[in-house]
Structure 1
């Protein structure tokens, strides 16, 4: 079966060998990320997803924040491996910070109390879809990326550094850049273990 969208999904892979030479301009990269998130679905069309797109020194600053927070909790004898991993993210051209606006969620909870318990869950769904959309869009532009979850370690420092609203809750970080390495073959479990089809 051939499907253009599925073929695009197949290009989305975790890239940990990142470089700073993007195949398109920063402006084009930023517009690509914004369009992908803008057209990602959300419950009640809430559009609760927010993003901070950092390039160059600003991205490096983020990973410096993460590194210093990790230094406080990672044992000294294990820190060199942790530092190398964080440096690999900082080696990229930029990072997308994915947020969910809690004011939007609480507003929906007040407006639709019957679904109040569901809105935080649906917000996580929206964030995941936005992340996948942006990642796929980057991959199809020839830009490598991976998805990281160091929150809540850098949350307070990042919010202060980039003067972000208190209602924005950090959900994920996506370092991106040029593909400096290949990809390993991806293996899949048997379809019979994952899917049930009736009808």
Structure 2
């Protein structure tokens, strides 16, 4: 199902209506996620990115955890909309959790003090690249996904349930599944306002 790279980038969209119908084997999803983790560039080859992939009941547990935490802060009269949104993510096939390992970042800050202030910035930039590569790779396999940010609300529950190290800081959650509705039309700001070329 391989596509031209630019076509894959173009087709990667936020797909909010997903189901848990199997599109590709779990092993293939693991394979593309591991490929992304291995090949996404990090400054100074820092490799501070960490990923947890959840399927089945483990995936469901994450979104129940998010719902429980949101119930504590969302007014009762508004909770139905929130619950519907979370149940939409839960309806998918799995979730990728993205972390940055702060021990790696701190180690590099100690090794190369000259760049100390930049390593946290570069870590976040690389995390964004990793999220993009995974998202595009999942789309390329025929899956729909979105990028969510329920951290730090769910951080403690995630740490306790999946026993992630204290140094792993949660950055994003990516629920994925079979796309049930295509993404709508997208408007773009004129490129002339966003790109300058000098020759």
What residue in structure 2 maps to residue 100 of structure 1?
100
What residue in structure 1 maps to residue 197 of structure 2?
197
* C-alpha separation in 2, matches of 1:27 and 1:153: 30
What residue in structure 2 maps to residue 160 of structure 1?
160
* C-alpha separation in 1, matches of 2:33 and 2:144: 13
| Structure 2: runs of 5 or more not aligned | none
* C-alpha separation in 1, matches of 2:148 and 2:87: 13
User: Where do 1:49-128 residues align within 5 Å?
Assistant: 49-128=49-128
Q: What per-residue deviation string (whole Å, max 9, x for no partner) do you get for residues 71-105 of structure 1?
A: 11111111100000000000000000000000000
Residues 50 and 99 in structure 1, CA contact (< 8 A), matched pair in contact too: yes
CA shift for structure 1 position 37 = 2.1
| Structure 1: runs of 5 or more not aligned | none
Residues 144 and 178 in structure 1, CA contact (< 8 A), matched pair in contact too: yes
What residue in structure 2 maps to residue 144 of structure 1?
144
CA shift for structure 1 position 160 = 0.7
Q: What is the TM-score with the length of structure 2 in the denominator?
A: 0.97
What residue in structure 1 maps to residue 18 of structure 2?
18
CA shift for structure 1 position 4 = 2.3
CA shift for structure 1 position 36 = 1.4
Q: What is the TM-score with the length of structure 1 in the denominator?
A: 0.97
Q: What per-residue deviation string (whole Å, max 9, x for no partner) do you get for residues 153-193 of structure 1?
A: 11011111011111000000000000111110111111111
Residues 37 and 131 in structure 1, CA contact (< 8 A), matched pair in contact too: no
Flag as ranges the 4+ runs of structure 1 deviating above 6 A.
none
What residue in structure 2 maps to residue 175 of structure 1?
175
* C-alpha separation in 2, matches of 1:101 and 1:182: 35
* C-alpha separation in 1, matches of 2:38 and 2:144: 21
1:186 and 2:186 correspond: yes
- Structural RMSD (CA): 1.0
